[in-house]
Structure 1
Amino acid sequence: MNQNLIVTPTHELPTHEKHNVTQQQLSVKRVMILSLELLLAIPLGLVLVKLHIGGIAWIFGGIASGAIVLQGCRIFYQYYPKPNRRARKVGMALVGLTVGASNSNSDLTSLASGIPIFIFLTLFLLLCGGCIGYLYSRLSQTNLLTSMLATVPGGVGVMSSIAADYNRNVTLVALVQAMRVTSVVLLIPLIARTSVDHVLSSQTLPITVRLLRFDLPQLGLLCVSLVITTLLISLAGLCKMPAAEFFSALVVGLGFNSLLHLLPVFGDVSFSPPEFIKLLGQLLLGITIGEYWGDKPNIGKKAIAYAFMSVAMTLIAGAIAAMLAMQLTSWDWLTCLLVTAPGGAPEMILVSLALNHNVEIVTTGHLVRLIAINSSLPLWIFLFRHLDRQLSDPV
């Protein structure tokens, strides 16, 4: 009679049910960690806003929060979570939607003539990244594939995933990539502030001003845009499109208002993502960068010194590329610096958005570079592995 009430202990569950229980527990822990990171990142961001860091303050708040929480889990609870790649994908989608909507009234077709220049600058940066990776490999005695994945500006998550797929040093790759992205995101606003202070608009406190101001029609349009973005991301993922989350959301942001204007029922309604969407996207991108800082930072001092050396060389290569861009175009120096900066595409576009400086040019330049790098990755990996085998084989 009471047989139906008997609860089977976890250790007696079938293997597939044990796996389900473990996955559920892992998902709950990830949600708890992410919630804690967001709760910590918001006050940190507010402090940085008070210090007049500018609109990029929320990324830095996220970076600090991600590093602190992940390291705290390791030190105090002996729990070793991995960086939350799903949170980064959500952040990329929110940033893409925000950037797309902000550029929806811009004439991006006028930038088509500059695509050869964007491609040239991308090839220059890839060539420099290859040379820096080779030099870094020889000096640090690291295998060539690991060094190349660490130094080529292809993004923290993508390069770390490839390193894991080929059984390379994921920690080292993630550390060097995170150092590079963090350095670029930190240095460019600092350079802009010291050189042309007027480009940095003073950041208000959206938590108390605009963040809590909800417009129900806009929230409804936001829900529709997020549904369309999710469907487009799924389709892009099936087509193996690189950076599917960012590209899909960017396309939706660019075309959503045009789609609305085709429907008579909406009249002159225009969609603009609420302020909290932009803020949340920045926080999530910052948190995932910070998590890579907090993920197994117990690397030797010598390895960290070589990593800083490679990052410094990559930044110098970006500065040289900016000088080339100034000679080839009529852009001002800050635009050239933003276009050629060796940071992640979402992060650098966010920086230009925070600086309110030629966002459409910076967006186009980084999209061209993102497409070129991701589409050529199979060829680069094949060449790196081939050279790696040649260098490792005894003569």
Structure 2
Amino acid sequence: MIDALKDRCSAGSRLLPTLAVGVCGSVLAYAVNMPLPWLLGALIATTVLSLAGVRLPAPAGSRKAVLVVIGVVLGAAFTPDMAGDVGRWGASLVIMLLSTAVMMVVSVWLSRRVAGNSVDTAIYAGMPGGLSAVTLMAADSDADLRVVGLTHAVRILVLLLAIPPVLQLIGHVSLQANTTTLTQWLAMPGLADTLMLVGSGIAGAWLGRILRLPNPLLFGPVLVSGTLHITGICEATIPPVIVALAQIVIGVSVGVRFVGTSLSSVGLSLMIAIVQALLLMLIALAAAWVGHLVTGYSPAAALLAYMPGGAPELSLVALSLNIEPAFVTSHHLLRITVLIMIMPLLLNVLKRCRV
């Protein structure tokens, strides 16, 4: 037990430089009033250093804990007065699934026909979301894991960097500077609420694994916390300072994926990944406008819901900007679940057709 504790302390100390870079980037972004400063500041700082050859350790253990925290916070967005709105989600969910199918066709075609990747690589690199599940599934196939990982990492990076200007372009959302006071930053819920929040995180993580949910550490706590909040049993949420720290960890988690990446050695794969991300963004924009016209939800909410994930990252953006986080999270949960279910079947069909 003592040896295990020492190992954890050692791993934590190795992570300090990564977190320090993330915090510095986030503070600088906050100081210059950058939109989504805690997320994008950490992301940009670690990405730049990673591409420059600095080997920053990945926050694997910290990211797991942060996913649970984000899940609890997202669950708090399910309030009793929104119960009637859930019925309006049906049409939007259908639009999301149809747009996801179009995204899948475009991204797989691009990876297979333009980049010349294998069927396995094209399928897993083209899957619009679900990085954690995709990585595990791709490892058991003949896919090129470097191309798969790079494609998903670049897509998430491009989408996160594009979100502020795109949201300002389509309107319906304010990206004004944060005016949260120090008292609000440090506000803590009462003891009973704290116990419920912590309990929902622990129980949710366990439930997510039992139910074999995609990304169980995120969506399990969403289900438990969401149930407590939509029924009115709990009305509290996690303090803003903890949410900001969660954003920093998520930001550096994306940035350090580029450690060891040489631009000269991955030139074609990088260009294909960037083109793919931009094309999928355009598809999501078109679908979001249709979703807005059909459901009445803002184009911003529909866009974040239809974007080809990272579910944790995009749900966190919706939460940070207060853009229908429950709506956005539910869409990403359904998308990833459906994709994981159909992926083996789709792979077999394409191989038989010798695409």
TM-score range, shorter chain: 0.7 to 0.9
**Residue of structure 2 in register with 1:156 after alignment:** 131
**Unpaired runs of at least 5, structure 1:** 1-19, 262-268
SS of the residue aligned with 1:93?
A: helix
Structure 1 residues 230 and 41: alpha-carbon distance in aligned structure 2, compared to 1, 3 A threshold = same
Amino acid in the other structure paired with 1:232: G
Q: For residues 217-366 of structure 1, what are the structure 2 equivalents within 5 Å?
A: 218=190, 221-257=193-229, 261=233, 270-297=235-262, 299-366=265-332
Q: For residues 112-151 of structure 1, what are the structure 2 equivalents within 5 Å?
A: 112-151=87-126
Question: Displacement of 1:318 after TM fit?
Answer: 1.4
Q: Distance in 2 between matches of 1:114 and 1:71?
A: 40
Amino acid in the other structure paired with 1:287: V
Residues 101-110 or 316-325, more deviating: 101-110
Q: Distance in 1 between matches of 2:235 and 2:277?
A: 42
Q: Distance in 1 between matches of 2:187 and 2:95?
A: 44
Question: Displacement of 1:219 after TM fit?
Answer: 5.9
Q: Distance in 1 between matches of 2:72 and 2:354?
A: 45
**Residue of structure 2 in register with 1:31 after alignment:** 12
Asked if 1:93 corresponds to 2:59, the answer is no
Q: Distance in 1 between matches of 2:139 and 2:6?
A: 24
Deviations 1:21-71 (A, max 9, x none): 8x98875554233332222212211111122123x2111133235446666
Deviations 1:250-291 (A, max 9, x none): 123323357784xxxxxxx84221122211221222121112
**Residue of structure 2 in register with 1:52 after alignment:** 33
Contact conserved, 2:172 with 2:300, CA < 8 A, in 1? no
Q: Distance in 2 between matches of 1:129 and 1:197?
A: 28
Q: What TM-score do the two structures reach when normalised by structure 1?
A: 0.77
Structure 1 residues 134 and 195: alpha-carbon distance in aligned structure 2, compared to 1, 3 A threshold = closer
Amino acid in the other structure paired with 2:70: V
Q: Distance in 2 between matches of 1:310 and 1:109?
A: 37
Q: Distance in 2 between matches of 1:114 and 1:224?
A: 28
Q: Distance in 2 between matches of 1:108 and 1:369?
A: 21
Asked if 1:202 corresponds to 2:165, the answer is no
SS of the residue aligned with 2:354?
A: helix
Larger radius of gyration: 1
SS of the residue aligned with 1:371?
A: helix
Structure 1 residues 227 and 356: alpha-carbon distance in aligned structure 2, compared to 1, 3 A threshold = closer
Q: Distance in 2 between matches of 1:318 and 1:154?
A: 13
**Residue of structure 1 in register with 2:335 after alignment:** 369
Q: How many residues align?
A: 353
Amino acid in the other structure paired with 2:154: M
Q: Distance in 2 between matches of 1:195 and 1:354?
A: 18
Q: Distance in 2 between matches of 1:335 and 1:214?
A: 28
**Residue of structure 2 in register with 1:5 after alignment:** none
Deviations 1:198-243 (A, max 9, x none): 622421477x5544x354x536633542234223312321332222
SS of the residue aligned with 1:157?
A: helix
**Residue of structure 2 in register with 1:383 after alignment:** 346
**Sequence identity (%):** 19
Q: Distance in 2 between matches of 1:258 and 1:195?
A: 30
Contact conserved, 2:29 with 2:41, CA < 8 A, in 1? yes
Structure 1 residues 151 and 294: alpha-carbon distance in aligned structure 2, compared to 1, 3 A threshold = same
Q: Distance in 1 between matches of 2:229 and 2:283?
A: 39
Structure 1 residues 164 and 50: alpha-carbon distance in aligned structure 2, compared to 1, 3 A threshold = same
Residues 317-326 or 62-71, more deviating: 62-71
Question: Displacement of 1:327 after TM fit?
Answer: 3.9
Q: What TM-score do the two structures reach when normalised by structure 2?
A: 0.85
**Residue of structure 2 in register with 1:264 after alignment:** none
Structure 1 residues 191 and 209: alpha-carbon distance in aligned structure 2, compared to 1, 3 A threshold = farther
RMSD: 3.2
**Residue of structure 2 in register with 1:188 after alignment:** 163
